[in-house]
Structure 1
Amino acid sequence: MAKRPLLYAVLAFLLGHISIIFQDIALWLLLTFALIIVLIIAGLRQACSRKLACLLLVLFMLGSVQRYTVDYYNTTALPLQLDQADAEASGIITSEVEIDGNMVRFTFQAKELFFPRQDLPIHESETFAVQLTLQEQSELEQASTWRRGLNIALQGTITIPAEANNKGMFDYRQYLQRKGIHWLWKSKGSSSLQIMDSNWHYSSLLHQIDLLRKRMAAPLDQLYNEVESGYLKGLILGIREDLDPEQFRSFSTLGLTHILAISGLHVAVFMYIVTTVLKWMRCSKEQIISLLMLAIPCYVAITGASPSVLRAGMMAMLGLLAARAGRLKDGLHIIAIVAALLVLWKPYLLHDVSFQLSFVVTLGLIVGVPAVQRLLPQTTRWKWLIDLFSVTVVAQIISFPLSIYYFNQFHLLSLAANFFLVPFISMIVMPLSSISLLIGHISLAAAKPISSIVHWCNELTFVIVEMLSKVNQLYTIWATPSIYWILLWYGIWFYLFTRWRRIDRKPELSNSSDRSVTEPIDGYDELSIIYPQQQKSWLQANKPTWICLLLAGLLLVYGYAPQMLDRNATISFLDVGQGDASLIRTPTGKMLLIDGGGTIQFGQQEEWKQRRDPFEVGKKVLLPLLMKRGVHQLDAVIISHLDSDHIGGLIEIIKMIPVKEIWWNGSYKQSSEAEQLFQLIMEKGIVLRTPIIGEQINIDRYTTVDVLWPLQQLPSAIYEAEKQNEQSLVFMLTVYKTTLLYTGDVGSSTEESIINEHRMRVEEARATPLPPIDIMKAAHHGSRYSTDYSWLSFVQPRTTVISAGRNNVYGHPHPDVLGRLSQYQSLVWRTDLQGEVQFIVDPKGSYYVKWN
Structure 2
Amino acid sequence: MKKVAGFQSDSLLQLQGMSIVVLATAWLMGIVLASWLVLPPFLLLCSSGVVVVAIFLARRLPLSRLTFITLLCLILGAWRYTIIQPANDPQSIVHAIGSQVVKVKGMVSDAPKLAGRARQLKIAVSALNRLDTKDWQVVRGILEVQTPGTTLEDMYGANYGDIVTVQGKLVTPEPHGPADIQAQMTFPRISVNQHGGNPAIVFLYHWRVRFATILSQILPQPYAALLIAIVLGLRTPQLAPLSQAFNVTGTAHLIVPSGFKITVLAGLMLSCTRWLYTGRIADYLPGSPQRSWQRWLSTAIVLLSIAVYTVLSGAGAAAIRSGVMGSLLVLAPRIGRSYNIYTALAVTAIGMSVLDPVVLWDTGFQLSFLGTLGIVLFTPYIQYPLRSLAKFPGGYFLAETCAVTMAAQLATLPIFAITFEQISFIAPIANMLTVPLLGLSITLGLLICLLGLFFLPLGMLGGWLAWPLLWYMGQSILFCAALPGAYITVTAVDNRISWLYYVPLTCTLVYLLYRWPHAKLTGEHTQRKKVITKRVQRWLYVGLALLIITVTGIVSLQQSQAREKFSLTFLRVGPISKPAQGEAILLRTAENKTLLIDGGLDAGTLSQALDSRLPSWQRNLDMVMLTVPRAEHLLGLQDVVTRYRINSIIDAGMLHPSTAYARWRRTIQEQGQPYHTVSQGQNITLDQHTQLQILWPTTQLHISNETRDNTLITRLNMSGLRILFLGAAAQSPYALTQLTTYTAKSALQANIIQIVGDPGKTLSSALITLLQKVQPTLLIITPPASQRQSQTTSTKSQPIHLPPLLSTTHILSIQQQGNIEITGNQAGWHLQPIP
Classify the TM-score, shorter chain. Answer: 0.5 to 0.7
- 1:484 CA drift (Å): 3.3
Q: Give the Cα separation in 2 of the matches to 1:442 and 1:150.
A: 30
1:261-303 residue CA offsets vs partner (Å, 9 max, x unmatched): 0110110111122122223665665243332122211211222
Q: Give the Cα separation in 1 of the matches to 2:94 and 2:303.
A: 47
| Structure 2 residue 64 is the aligned partner of structure 1 residue 50 | yes
Matched letter for residue 182 of structure 2: I
- 1:487 CA drift (Å): 1.5
Q: Is the 8 A contact 1:90 1:111 kept in 2?
A: yes
| Structure 2 residue 124 is the aligned partner of structure 1 residue 123 | no
- Matching residue of 1:7: 21
- Matching residue of 1:406: 419
- Matching residue of 1:500: 516
| Structure 2 residue 109 is the aligned partner of structure 1 residue 94 | yes
Q: What secondary structure sits across from 2:273 in the alignment?
A: helix
- Matching residue of 2:83: 69
> How many correspondences in the alignment?
490
Q: Give the Cα separation in 2 of the matches to 1:413 and 1:674.
A: 33
Q: What secondary structure sits across from 1:220 in the alignment?
A: helix
- 1:133 CA drift (Å): 5.0
Matched letter for residue 244 of structure 2: R
1:574-616 residue CA offsets vs partner (Å, 9 max, x unmatched): xxxxxxxxxxxxxxxxxxxxxxxxxx99997798655869xxx
| Structure 2 residue 195 is the aligned partner of structure 1 residue 157 | no
Q: Give the Cα separation in 2 of the matches to 1:504 and 1:421.
A: 30
User: What root-mean-square deviation, in Å, do the aligned CA atoms of Structure 1 and Structure 2 show?
Assistant: 4.0
1:293-343 residue CA offsets vs partner (Å, 9 max, x unmatched): 222112112221121221121112222222012222222112111111111
- What is the aligned-residue identity percentage? 17
Q: Is the 8 A contact 2:145 2:187 kept in 1?
A: yes
- 1:454 CA drift (Å): 1.1
Counterpart selection for 2:401 from 384, 388, 393: 388
- Matching residue of 1:269: 264
Q: Is the 8 A contact 2:114 2:237 kept in 1?
A: no
1:395-425 residue CA offsets vs partner (Å, 9 max, x unmatched): 232232322232232232111111221112x
- Matching residue of 1:783: none
- Matching residue of 1:556: none
Q: Give the Cα separation in 2 of the matches to 1:603 and 1:252.
A: 27
- Matching residue of 1:446: 458
Q: Specify every segment of 5 or more residues in structure 1 that has no aligned partner in the other structure, as ranges.
A: 30-47, 164-169, 511-599, 614-669, 677-852
Q: Give the Cα separation in 2 of the matches to 1:288 and 1:82.
A: 51
Matched letter for residue 449 of structure 1: L
Q: Is the 8 A contact 1:108 1:130 kept in 2?
A: yes
Q: Is the 8 A contact 2:579 2:792 kept in 1?
A: no
Q: Give the Cα separation in 2 of the matches to 1:141 and 1:364.
A: 37
| Structure 2 residue 122 is the aligned partner of structure 1 residue 107 | yes
Q: Is the 8 A contact 2:448 2:460 kept in 1?
A: yes
Matches within 5 A, 1:567-578: none
Q: Is the 8 A contact 2:401 2:431 kept in 1?
A: no
1:93-126 residue CA offsets vs partner (Å, 9 max, x unmatched): 333345666644423455554444x234223145
| Structure 2 residue 35 is the aligned partner of structure 1 residue 21 | yes
Normalising to structure 1: TM-score of the pair? 0.51
| Structure 2 residue 342 is the aligned partner of structure 1 residue 344 | no
Matches within 5 A, 1:292-307: 292-307=302-317
- 1:490 CA drift (Å): 2.4
Matches within 5 A, 1:480-495: 480=493, 482-495=497-510
Counterpart selection for 1:290 from 278, 285, 300: 300
- 1:483 CA drift (Å): 2.9
- 1:143 CA drift (Å): 6.1
Matched letter for residue 307 of structure 2: P
- 1:10 CA drift (Å): 1.0
1:624-661 residue CA offsets vs partner (Å, 9 max, x unmatched): xxxxxxxxxxxxxxxxxxxxxxxxxxxxxxxxxxxxxx
Q: Give the Cα separation in 2 of the matches to 1:113 and 1:444.
A: 47
Q: Is the 8 A contact 1:158 1:186 kept in 2?
A: no
Question: Residues 345 and 488 from structure 1, CA distance in 2 versus in 1: closer, same or farther, beyond 3 angstroms?
Answer: same
Matched letter for residue 240 of structure 1: R
Q: What secondary structure sits across from 1:271 in the alignment?
A: helix
Q: Is the 8 A contact 1:436 1:451 kept in 2?
A: yes
- 1:251 CA drift (Å): 0.8
Q: What secondary structure sits across from 1:357 in the alignment?
A: helix
Q: Give the Cα separation in 2 of the matches to 1:103 and 1:372.
A: 44
| Structure 2 residue 252 is the aligned partner of structure 1 residue 246 | no
Q: Give the Cα separation in 2 of the matches to 1:486 and 1:449.
A: 49
- 1:186 CA drift (Å): 4.2
- Matching residue of 1:456: 468
- Matching residue of 1:586: none
Q: Is the 8 A contact 1:13 1:62 kept in 2?
A: yes
Matched letter for residue 406 of structure 1: T
Q: Is the 8 A contact 2:111 2:314 kept in 1?
A: no
Matches within 5 A, 1:741-756: none
Q: Specify every segment of 5 or more residues in structure 2 that has no aligned partner in the other structure, as ranges.
A: 1-14, 44-61, 282-294, 527-576, 584-598, 606-789, 797-835
Q: What secondary structure sits across from 1:184 in the alignment?
A: strand
Q: Is the 8 A contact 1:16 1:62 kept in 2?
A: yes
1:176-219 residue CA offsets vs partner (Å, 9 max, x unmatched): xx4253352642xxxx54444x36x4355533221121122232
Q: Is the 8 A contact 2:425 2:487 kept in 1?
A: yes
- Matching residue of 1:735: none
Q: Give the Cα separation in 2 of the matches to 1:103 and 1:404.
A: 27
1:638-685 residue CA offsets vs partner (Å, 9 max, x unmatched): xxxxxxxxxxxxxxxxxxxxxxxxxxxxxxxx9745469xxxxxxxxx
- 1:223 CA drift (Å): 0.8
Q: What secondary structure sits across from 2:222 in the alignment?
A: helix
Question: Residues 87 and 601 from structure 1, CA distance in 2 versus in 1: closer, same or farther, beyond 3 angstroms?
Answer: farther
- Matching residue of 1:534: none
Question: Residues 374 and 297 from structure 1, CA distance in 2 versus in 1: closer, same or farther, beyond 3 angstroms?
Answer: same
Q: Give the Cα separation in 2 of the matches to 1:363 and 1:345.
A: 22
Normalising to structure 2: TM-score of the pair? 0.52
- 1:54 CA drift (Å): 2.6
Q: Is the 8 A contact 1:373 1:390 kept in 2?
A: yes
Q: Give the Cα separation in 1 of the matches to 2:113 and 2:448.
A: 27
Q: Is the 8 A contact 2:414 2:498 kept in 1?
A: no
Q: Give the Cα separation in 1 of the matches to 2:209 and 2:152.
A: 18
Q: Give the Cα separation in 2 of the matches to 1:140 and 1:266.
A: 23
Matched letter for residue 68 of structure 1: T
Q: Is the 8 A contact 2:398 2:432 kept in 1?
A: no
- 1:486 CA drift (Å): 2.0
Matched letter for residue 170 of structure 2: T
Counterpart selection for 2:326 from 316, 323, 327: 316
Question: Residues 6 and 353 from structure 1, CA distance in 2 versus in 1: closer, same or farther, beyond 3 angstroms?
Answer: same
Q: What secondary structure sits across from 1:131 in the alignment?
A: strand
| Structure 2 residue 251 is the aligned partner of structure 1 residue 256 | yes
Question: Residues 497 and 359 from structure 1, CA distance in 2 versus in 1: closer, same or farther, beyond 3 angstroms?
Answer: farther
Q: What secondary structure sits across from 2:516 in the alignment?
A: helix
Q: Is the 8 A contact 1:314 1:338 kept in 2?
A: yes
- 1:358 CA drift (Å): 1.2
| Structure 2 residue 100 is the aligned partner of structure 1 residue 85 | yes
Q: Is the 8 A contact 1:267 1:309 kept in 2?
A: no
- Matching residue of 1:278: 273
- Matching residue of 1:651: none
Q: What secondary structure sits across from 1:244 in the alignment?
A: helix
- 1:445 CA drift (Å): 2.4
Q: Give the Cα separation in 2 of the matches to 1:10 and 1:140.
A: 37
- 1:463 CA drift (Å): 1.4
